[in-house]
Amino acid sequence: MSAQLVQALPAHHGTRAHEARAPRSGATLPALRRKLARAAGALALSFIVVMPAVRPALARSGPEGIADVAERVMDAVVNIKATQKVAQRNVPMPQLPPGSPFEDLFNDFFNKRGGPGAPNGGPTPNGPQQRSSSLGSGFVIDPAGIVITNNHVIAEANEITVVFNDGTELKAEVVGKDKSTDLAVLKVKSDKPLNAVKFGDSDKARVGEWVIAIGNPFGFGGSVSAGIVSAKQRNIRSGPYDSFIQTDAAINKGNSGGPLFNMDGDVIGINTAIISPSGGSIGIGFSVPASLAVPIIDQLKQYGETRRGWLGVAIQDVDDDTADALKLGKARGAMVINVDDKGPAKTAGFEREDVIIKFDGKDIRRSNDLPRIVAQTPIGKEVDVIVMRAGKEITRKVTLGKLDEAPQKASLETKDAQNGTATSTVLGLDVAPLNAETRKRFNIKDGIEGVVVLKVDPNSIAAERRVAVGDVIVEVQREAVKSAADIRKRLDALKAQGQKRALFYIASGPEGTLRYVTLPMN
């Protein structure tokens, strides 16, 4: 820069531009002023030309501290090798004529002396097995050898190996795992204390804050990527407790189970999922927040299993139409669509159409907030639950039970059937009384009563809200219905009360899964 300045300044005579000179004979004062003005302009011009030579430092792509954090925590991040043993099938070797030039080649390839695929043998109980391996990431949280990863990384593994940054490999055993949150706790035995990291407060992480992901993408261990917190409390519908941190830090295959660090070097998330049309990172990754993970990890360490609180209600979201129908004022909370007869909520006096807006002092903004908060509440604890019922707030005291984990039922697909029963049309739905013939046709279990849907107008609001052929309308606004006439009568009564929308209580599928659907009555 100084060399350019030296070259630039003389070119515009900047060193002489401001020298005062005696006026020539006959020079007037205005002429002198004009010369001084021109000289000042030349001086200014010299700086205008020179200034571009002073180049600003290039903007960095992230804070300077990223390298420091990565260096400090790197040795606590590990690669996970999960191996599953699969018995080989006995595939017969092609039969070749004696003396064929390919006979020796095939004998060697198929191991004719009794190996897998040999015409004379095949796999024996003690014979070789095929090994299927997968790669993932993890991190150490206890110098004594506690390692955290994703459940899906090790779920089917017969053998797990933890590979450290210095190349050390240690066999691991599973302490506990949880499919619902996709977390697993492993234990390794080391003859020396291991480098470990600690969890931070993910609730304090802000959108736009810098984060660092370290892991084993595509088998490239110790890979560091940086980005920001793109969003919080993301529900990607992967399970009942979704509340992910979204980040644009590169997360790829093999990063699963690895840590997401804040700039203090604390783990605020466990990298778990990505959205990608190609299988690689497009800047949309998801991490289980530490606030959700830590209680689960503590339970897995202590008991080898999760011990979640249980309320005993089925719930759904509240949309604007439902809020209007229930006189809530605004859409919020978790709407109760069914109460387990043997659950704590039944004992506490919960009812269908109650809208839970606060649980143990915590606001319930959306329905998926409630399962997570209930699950994290200690079993046996008595809590206050505030519900909206008929437009009024009611407080219920409930003592939580223990959730018995069970496989989630698959979502129901829309059914189709030919209309072979006398029908009536209501709000874009062709309906008929539920009888033995329709019950058999749509595989509707005993105990469910109501009006069966035989056809749905594809242009109706009911179709938009996923009312399907084979669904059973059990109630309209808390009143049981057995015919189309019952539905019309109930709708007329609601209109007379000034209502514009009605709550339909609907059972779907062979299991009779219950939900509420709000439909406009015009």
List, in sequence order, the alpha helices (H) in 146-203: 151-154
Q: What percent of the chain has pLDDT over 70?
A: 75
pLDDT at 36 > cutoff 60: no
- In a domain, residue 100? The reply is no
**pLDDT, position 3:** 39
**pLDDT, position 276:** 81
Dump pLDDT digits (tens) for 485-512. Answer: 899 899 989 988 888 889 999 998 888 8
- Say whether both 330 and 430 belong to one domain: no
The catalytic position among 12, 134, 137, 152 is 152
- Say whether both 486 and 506 belong to one domain: yes
- Say whether both 203 and 314 belong to one domain: no
**pLDDT, position 178:** 95
> Which of 253, 282, 304 is the endpoint of a domain?
304
- In a domain, residue 172? The reply is yes
**pLDDT, position 506:** 93
- Say whether both 321 and 390 belong to one domain: yes
Q: Which of 18-22, 203-207, 349-353, 374-378 has the lowest mean pLDDT?
A: 18-22
Phi, psi of 293 (to 5 degrees): -75, -40
User: How many C-beta atoms surround the C-beta of residue 521 within 10 A?
Assistant: 15
- In a domain, residue 165? The reply is yes
Residue at 259: amino acid letter: P
- Say whether both 365 and 242 belong to one domain: no
- In a domain, residue 502? The reply is yes
pTM above 0.85, yes or no: no
CATH of the domain at 339: 2.30.42.10
The catalytic position among 46, 202, 256, 287 is 256
> Which of 304, 329, 364 is the endpoint of a domain?
304
pLDDT at 37 > cutoff 70: no
pLDDT at 33 > cutoff 60: no
458 pLDDT tier (thresholds 50, 70, 90): confident
- In a domain, residue 115? The reply is no
- Say whether both 358 and 243 belong to one domain: no
Q: Look at residues 183, 172, 180 and name the one whose alpha carbon lies nearest to residue 146.
A: 172
The catalytic position among 46, 137, 180, 182 is 182
- Say whether both 146 and 256 belong to one domain: yes
**pLDDT, position 129:** 57
The bridge status of strand 451-456 relative to strand 424-426 is unpaired
Of 241 and 194, which is predicted with more confidence? 194
- Say whether both 344 and 209 belong to one domain: no
> Which of 276, 304, 332 is the endpoint of a domain?
304
- In a domain, residue 94? The reply is no
**pLDDT, position 131:** 66
Active site residue 12: no
How many alpha carbons fall within 13 Å on the CB side of residue 190?
Answer: 22
- Say whether both 220 and 319 belong to one domain: no
- In a domain, residue 118? The reply is no
- In a domain, residue 253? The reply is yes
Mean pLDDT estimate for the chain: 80
**pLDDT, position 117:** 43
Domain that holds residue 232: 64-88+128-304
Dump pLDDT digits (tens) for 380-404. Answer: 999 999 999 988 999 999 999 999 8
The bridge status of strand 401-402 relative to strand 309-310 is antiparallel
Query: Mean pLDDT over residues 447-461, rounded?
Result: 87
Active site residue 75: no
Q: How many folded domains does the chain comprise?
A: 4
428 pLDDT tier (thresholds 50, 70, 90): confident
- Say whether both 230 and 139 belong to one domain: yes
Q: Residue 405 CA to chain centroid, in angstroms? A: 20
The dihedral over CA atoms of 381, 382, 384, 389, expressed in degrees to the nearest 10, equals: 110
**pLDDT, position 65:** 87
Query: Mean pLDDT over residues 255-277, rounded?
Result: 94
CATH of the domain at 281: 2.40.10.120
Q: Which of 30-44, 282-296, 334-348 has the lowest mean pLDDT?
A: 30-44
Helix (H) or strand (E) holding 33: helix 29-50
- Say whether both 279 and 329 belong to one domain: no
Query: Mean pLDDT over residues 320-335, rounded?
Result: 88
Q: Which of 44-53, 75-84, 349-358 has the lowest mean pLDDT?
A: 44-53
**pLDDT, position 409:** 33
- Say whether both 445 and 376 belong to one domain: no
